[in-house]
Amino acid sequence: MDHGLHWGQSPIDLAEEAPGEVKFLAALTEDAMPDRDCGALERMAAWEDSGIHTGLGWAAKALLASSLALLLLNAHALNNWAEQLPVTPLSEPVVNAISAWHQTAEDIGLNAVVDKVEQAAKAMRKAIWP
């Protein structure tokens, strides 16, 4: 019976991060597991022991920072989403606030990156063979 996906079969597997030899869990960890009848449980312990740097904090901070940057610099996407919302007493103030933010972002030039890329893409689409 196969237990889990072999290391290297997923595109996110980096060779140097292979969990290595399966190790048995420490008694404390073993107690915390809901079901012992599954071989791959041991892999976590192998990872934690091997000194591979955890990426959760790094990924969470990267996702948060990029989401904030997009909120700031991509008011177009927010506005497009708001325009598709059904008009209800609940959605109306949200749509108005987003529309106002879209206009403010436009005025202070925060949409410039997207606008410039859009213009460049339009020009490239129109290019013809010499």
Partner 1 sequence: MLFPTLAFHVFFALVFCCNWMMRRAGDWRLIMLLVASWIFYGWFDARFVALLQASALLNWGAGRLILGQPERARGWMIAGLIANLLILGFFKYYGFFVQQVNDALLAPMGMVRIRALDVILPVGVSFFTFQGISYVVDVAKGRSAPARLLELALLMSFFPHLVAGPIVRPAHILPQLRERPWLSQGAAATSLVLILWGLVKKTVIANELAVQLVDPVFNDAAHHSAADLVWASYGYAIQIYCDFSAYSDMAIGFAGLLGFRFPANFNQPYRAASLQDFWRRWHISLSFWLRDYLYIGLLGGSRQSLIRTCAALFLTMLLGGLWHGASWNFLIWGAIHGAMLVLERLWAQFRPAGLPKAPLWLGRLYTFHVVTLAWVFFRIKDYGDAIGFLRRIWRGQDGAMIFSPWTAAMIAIGLACQFGPHDGVQQLGRWLRGQSFWAAAGLVAVVLLVVEGLRGAGVAPFIYFQF
User: Taking CB under 8 A as the rule, does residue 20 contact partner 1?
Assistant: no
Closest CA to 99 of 85, 114, 119: 85
Number of residues assigned to the chain: 130
Cβ–Cβ < 8 Å for 87, 52: no
Find the binding residues for partner 1 in span 73-92 (CB under 8 A).
Answer: 73-74, 76-78, 80-81
Q: What burial letters (b/e) apply to 11-42, b meaning 16+ CB within 10 Å? A: eeeeeeebbeeebebeeeeeeeeeeeeeeebb
- Smallest distance, Å, CB 89 to partner 1? 21
For residue 39, give the DSSP letter: G
Confirm or reject binding of residue 110 to partner 1 (CB under 8 A): no
Of residues 94 and 117, the one with the C-beta less far from partner 1: 117
Which of 22, 26, 65, 94 lies at the binding interface for partner 1 (CB under 8 A)?
65
Q: Compute the least distance from the CB of residue 111 to partner 1, in Å.
A: 10
d(CA 82, CA 79): 5
Residue 29: CB minimum distance to partner 1, A? 9
Identify the sign of the CA torsion 41, 45, 46, 52. Answer: positive
User: In the set 23, 26, 31, 37, which binds partner 1 (CB under 8 A)?
Assistant: 37
Please report, as ranges, the residues that interact with partner 1 according to CB under 8 A.
1-5, 9-17, 32-35, 37-41, 43-44, 47-48, 52-67, 69-70, 73-74, 76-78, 80-81, 113-118, 120-121, 124-125, 127-129
